[in-house]
Amino acid sequence: MVAMSVMLLFSKLTGDYGLALPEALFWRQLLPAIGILAWLAARGQLSRLRTERFWIHARRAFIGTVGMFGTLGVVRILPLAEATILGFTTPMFAVVLAALFLRETVGPWRWSAVAVGLVGVMVIVGPDRAHLPLNGVVVGLFAAFSVALVSIQLRDLGRTEEPLRVVFYFSLLGALLLLPAALVTGRAHSQVQWLLLAGLGATGIVTQLLLTAALRYGSVASVIVMDYSQLIWSTLWGYLIWRQLPPATSWLGAPLIIAAGLIIAWREHVLHRRSVLDPATAPNAD
């Protein structure tokens, strides 16, 4: 989450320095792909990139690349802290997706948590459009929805693919998808702009490796819980660099969204334990 917060910081700075979002995303994807390829080639380990699930990687790359327009774009519209708080709605979207597409039984605990989280979002949005424009809120919620989709994809890929391979194909295929837009929006850059792009790419690969490894070795619910520590860092960066602190509405709404995520994580942990102890009753446990 520290790495994620720094990556979002670099994304916001690239916007402040006039870099187009499609081009910034392109370098965010291309630099990790080149770095991984060069590192494996130097070690004679290119065979580690061999996969039998290329099309699953391609699907993950498409969903992840589309989602990145929200994840890295929202910080250009909203302050870092508010953009981070809206990202905490990911568990709520995960519950809805599980009910709609995985046909998972969702009971009163998790539906109540979703309702509490929605109240938190409404409190944060409030009437102050100058501080929190509606388009930024929409982009932030879209980003959270995309992260929920990607988390499911990563959990599936993690069963057979090592983190380095997952990150490489996401980065490479994402860069290819973004190349046409980068060619259209790309411009000559100053040294500072190149340094910002390099920082975005470097923190991007670290974030992806750590997140993919976390989802491989831990449950989605337990990993998502750790997201909440990101608020500390985003608030710190926002204050140190832009002298921005969240207003009262954000401090009131954030605990509701965080509480919703914690309830969902706790309930999924309980259901998982029940499924291990008594698989026959697990589908109706909630």
Question: pLDDT in tens for each of the 286 residues of the chain?
Answer: 899 999 999 999 999 999 999 999 999 999 889 989 999 999 999 999 999 899 999 998 999 999 999 999 999 999 999 999 998 898 888 888 777 766 777 888 888 988 999 899 888 887 766 667 888 889 999 998 988 888 777 777 877 888 889 889 999 999 999 999 999 998 889 999 999 999 998 998 888 788 777 877 776 666 767 778 888 999 999 999 999 888 888 888 999 999 988 888 788 777 767 766 665 555 445 5
Residue 134 is predicted with a pLDDT of: 84
Residue 224 is predicted with a pLDDT of: 66
Residue 178 is predicted with a pLDDT of: 96
Residue 277 is predicted with a pLDDT of: 66
Largest CA distance in the chain: 62
Burial label for 222, CB within 10 Å (0-12, 13-18, 19+), is middle
Residue 214 is predicted with a pLDDT of: 82
**Secondary structure letter of residue 119 according to DSSP:** H
**Secondary structure letter of residue 52 according to DSSP:** S
Nearest-Å Rg of the Cα atoms of the chain is 19
- Residue 261 and residue 225: Cα distance in Å, rounded? 7
Burial label for 56, CB within 10 Å (0-12, 13-18, 19+), is middle
Looking up tokens 């998808």 gives: 177
Residue 221 is predicted with a pLDDT of: 61
| Boundaries of every domain in the chain | 2-284
- Residue 46 and residue 68: Cα distance in Å, rounded? 27
At position 121, the amino acid (one-letter code) is V
